[in-house]
Structure 1
Amino acid sequence: MIPERLQRFEANRRRLFGVAYRMLGEASEAEDVVQDAYLRWERHDTAVSPEAWLTKVVTNLCLDRLTSARVRRESYVGPWLPEPVIIDGDALDPIETVEQRESLSMGMLVLLERLTPPERAVFVLREAFGHSHREIAQILEDNEPHVRQLYRRAQRHVAAARTRFTAEPGQHRKLLERFLEATLSGDVPALEGMLAEDVVAWADGGGKATATRRPLAGRQEVLRHLLALTRYSPRIRMTPEVVNGEPAVVLYLDGLLSGVTVVEFEGDRIAAIRTIANPDKLAFLKKQKI
């Protein structure tokens, strides 16, 4: 029989991982944070509310890690992108609103990198988990007016990018399938018709996998990059998957997981392509696929 103390923690594990992942953008780090929180929970007074206490611990552990993470990311080789995770339905934590789903998207996690650690904490706790300003102030041991100020500031930082239209999941999947077919077959007219004129493509290889070390901007430059993939067509398998709450492509080269590509649409045009190829960042997703 599972001890009651462990049961109380396990009832919160999925939500705690959701908080940590949104805060850090790294699934492996989020797992470490949750485990650290459990070790502290084991030693703490059982009379406290596990949900409130553990949320506070996880949030503050993430704030500590974000400070050092920023230093590491400044010396990162090429563009830095979040670790992808397979999320379908409520596999990570409840996704009941547009805001909750959006807070897990690759595009939003990239945007959250622009925020200061306190702004990110307030934004995640408010938007994704519905905590009141008062509750967030208690979690951060701050005053409520300052928390409101941090939230407004965070909203301003992400507001411009949120104006882009995101296709409904069903439409998104159909557009993604068209993109897959056109890419593998090297269908130039189809790809040109799908790429927005100002499309941008990022690839995160982290110096450990072949990837462009600068963003590719504009239809023609991105098109040349996509067409170069056709020479690997016999060796490549691309499968649709729900990654970070949105349709994405999981890439296999010679049968081995080699990348994840998330495509962002504006209407029926591709506005952004983000590919994670760093093997370290694929480890968590690979574990999910087993």
Structure 2
Amino acid sequence: MSAPAYYQPSGRFTVSGVLLLVILGTAAAVPLAFVYVYAIWYIPFIYINLFVTLGFGLLLGYALKTLTKSGKLRSPALVGWLSFALALWAWYLQWCVYLTLLFGAGETESLGSRASFTHTTFEADVFLGTLLNPPLVLGMLPRLADEGTWSIFGVTISGIFLYLVWLAELLILVLLTWNMPRSQAEVPFSELADEWAEKITLPQPATPFADAAATKLALETADWNHLQPHTEPDGTAHFGRLHFFRAPSDPDCCFLSLENVAIETDNKGKASEKTTDVLEYLRVPPRVCQELSTRFGAVPA
């Protein structure tokens, strides 16, 4: 008996799917870039900028992930490169918006001893001229780095430190925008039914997978009895969790992923989950898929 195989993306895609990702992804970056820059410009609290940048990357990444799913793109490499290009487009676009506001900047209004913002006007023709002139945009960056664009506690941030801040913002944007759609392209897909597998999380927790290597070996050799429901009382801090990925119209398309879950409580008593992947997208025979669904399909009263 051959060992179960792991899912491997087919690498298939359609021209219409690629165009959907590129055209709508390019368009989606426009309003997000505007919202991002205006938030950075008008919110006077510098330490919030990190969360604004994370929001920019997450929203754009989610949009590209949705387009990857809609376009049925099963090539992680292709999706990754296209998403990387779109992330750079979004990065360039936000600089164009920022420079437009900078060119229209007026008086600076103080909001106390530690915060202020600068009034500005947005001119569409200035924005379009900036957008169509990459040398101008890139040439402005060294000037801005020398002069500084913001200050904290009365100290203007400039030079190498400002470059590092810009680099961190770029990396956040690129990594989030690249990772989310690429991960979608790796999700199991039924070529027979031409549909994505749906993720189903089984409610009954499993005994923790203390030895991940032993668990993988057992399942790769079809030892399905290795997976057992957790017998500890409710509220335990450590347990395993099973996820199935099943195509609704293709019974043979069934893949299993496992993770360990640890419940951690901070000093304020707030609980949170920390998960660790144990196994991802292991093909499971339909019969075994049904058996495991029954075994872990209900939480005991």
Fold match by TM threshold 0.5: no
Structure with bigger helix share is 1
TM-score normalized by the length of structure 1: 0.23
Higher radius of gyration, 1 or 2: 2
